[in-house]
Amino acid sequence: MKIKAIIAAVLLSTSVVQAEEINLEVPQNVTLEQGLEAWARMYEVVSHPRCSNCHVGESDRPMWSGPSYGKARPHGMNIRAGESRIGVETLECATCHVGSTSDQPHTPPGVDGDWRLAPVEAAWFGRGSLEICGQLRNPETNGGLSFQEIAGHLGHDVVLQFAWKPGGGREPAPYSLEEHASDVLMWGAAGMPCPTE
Amino acid sequence: MKLTVNGTEHTLDVEPEMPLLWVLRDELKITGPKYGCGIAQCGACTVHVDGSAVRSCSITVGDVDGDVTTIEGLGTPDSLHAVQAAWVAHQVAQCGYCQSGQIMQAASFLDLNSEPTDEDIDNAMSANLCRCGTYPRIREAVKTAAKTLNEA
Ligand code: FES
Ligand code: FES
């Protein structure tokens, strides 16, 4: 079956285009309290619709939610991203989400890379701070990444950078890409603490 | 700027921000792809870029990275693409406005998924709207085309 080969090819070629320079220096002498503050800001970002709408866990349906969408609902047109997470089984995300983001309202945003859903394990939509924190610091559910690698990945994965320049009148994720990456490093330097500790 | 459409290379004098659909229809007079909504909500403008379905209203010509195929280049009257032949066999079209987009979408879908389930077909085609409601015939024609392509 042809799909399998295509999925394999797609997974091998993750969208690493246009790196954005971010400072990856790990801060020293970070207290637990500072680490938890950094996590609180990180949670504001990861639970924001610009991020969580595509972090839908087991589901393969992207969400439409946030200030410009009214009531939260699954992506219109019965869009399914499938096991591939980029829709090759049915309708590729890139059929509409292709090229650059236009500033016209109601147009599909795009980036110079694969538009896609996040991996199943990175389930954020509707989840609380503790749950997401636990997922992000566990190598079994975070893609085996160190905190430095998580911060680094923000610098070169253009689909994530979309969250801060969404265009089309959409509300951007809070803070900035640079601030978010520096919070990841601060949280990591404090030992990746989660709120109950 | 150069753009290859249906095997012919064209030299264009347009802004790179111009949507591909405008270039096809207004500059190159290739009018198979239709304008329905302009915001990727209907599928009437669907073409292929290197074989993958793309909503031509929602990609700028400057962002096109590959060869474009429109319904005019999918098959010829003497040698129809399997999807076009299935469309004729099932007499799918009513007014026809959405149909070039439907056919282009179905052709690229079957290229990716040669053994679709009924559910796959519905999911793949659900972003192509048809005001005439030809959906049941579309589903049957996609099944027929899949069979033809698998036998080939
Ligand atoms: S005109 Fe392009 S999707 Fe409607
Ligand atoms: S045949 Fe009339 S809109 Fe589809």
Q: What pLDDT score was predicted for residue A19?
A: 57
B126, B130, B142: which to substitute to probe chain A, counting the most A Cβ within 10 Å?
B126
Angle between helices A32-46 and A129-137 (to 10 degrees): 100
State what percent of residues in chain B have pLDDT above 70. 100
Mean pLDDT of chain A: 89
> Taking 50 as the threshold, does the pLDDT of residue A186 lie above it?
yes
Residues 6 or more apart whose Cβ sits within 8 Å of residue A29: none
Least confident of A9-13, A14-18, B8-12, B29-33: A9-13
Q: How far is B39 from chain A (nearest CA, A)?
A: 5
Q: What pLDDT score was predicted for residue B17?
A: 95
Q: What is the mean pLDDT of residues B30-37?
A: 98
Give how far Cα A18 sits from Cα of A30, A113, B74, Å: 31, 9, 34
Chain A contact present for B59, CB below 8 A:
yes
Q: What pLDDT score was predicted for residue A2?
A: 44
Residue A11 lies in a domain: no
Q: Tens digits of per-residue pLDDT, A120-174?
A: 999 999 999 999 999 999 999 999 999 999 999 998 888 889 999 999 889 999 9
- State in Å: Cα B130 to ligand 2 middle: 5
Angle between helices B99-112 and B135-151 (to 10 degrees): 40
Q: What pLDDT score was predicted for residue B152?
A: 76
Q: What pLDDT score was predicted for residue A15?
A: 42
By C-alpha distance, the chain A residue nearest B129 is A77
Residue A163 lies in a domain: yes
- How far from each other are the two terminal CA atoms of chain B, in whole angstroms? 38
Q: What pLDDT score was predicted for residue B94?
A: 98
> Taking 50 as the threshold, does the pLDDT of residue A118 lie above it?
yes
Q: Rounded CA gap, B75 and B136, in Å? A: 23
Domains and CATH numbers, chain B: 2-74 (3.10.20.30), 82-151 (1.10.150.120)
ipTM of predicted complex = 0.95
Q: Rounded CA gap, B30 and A135, in Å? A: 51
> Taking 50 as the threshold, does the pLDDT of residue B119 lie above it?
yes
Name the phi and psi angles at B22, rounded to 5. Answer: -65, -40
Range of the domain at A65: 25-189
Neighbour count for residue A20 (Cβ, 10 Å): 15
Q: Rounded CA gap, A44 and A175, in Å? A: 9
By C-alpha distance, the chain A residue nearest B49 is A95
Chain B contact present for A91, CB below 8 A:
yes
> How would you label B31-54 residue by residue, b for 16+ Cβ within 10 Å and e otherwise?
ebbbbbebbbbbbbbbbbbeebbb
> Taking 90 as the threshold, does the pLDDT of residue A33 lie above it?
yes
A7, A88, A90, A104: which to substitute to probe chain B, counting the most B Cβ within 10 Å?
A90
Regarding the beta carbon of B133 and ligand 2, being less than 6 Å apart is answered: no
pLDDT band at A18 (very low <50, low <70, confident <90, very high): low
Q: Which residue has the tokens 């053994």?
A: B115
Give how far Cα A7 sits from Cα of A117, B27, B35, B121, Å: 14, 36, 32, 18
pLDDT band at A103 (very low <50, low <70, confident <90, very high): confident
Regarding the beta carbon of B96 and ligand 2, being less than 6 Å apart is answered: yes
Mutate to test the pocket of ligand 1, among B37, B100, B128 (most ligand atoms within 8 A of CB): B37
Domain count, chain A: 1
The pTM of the full predicted model, rounded to 2 decimals, is 0.91
Regarding the beta carbon of B130 and ligand 2, being less than 6 Å apart is answered: yes
Q: Rounded CA gap, A183 and A30, in Å? A: 11
Q: What is the mean pLDDT of residues A59-76?
A: 93
Q: What is the mean pLDDT of residues B92-115?
A: 97
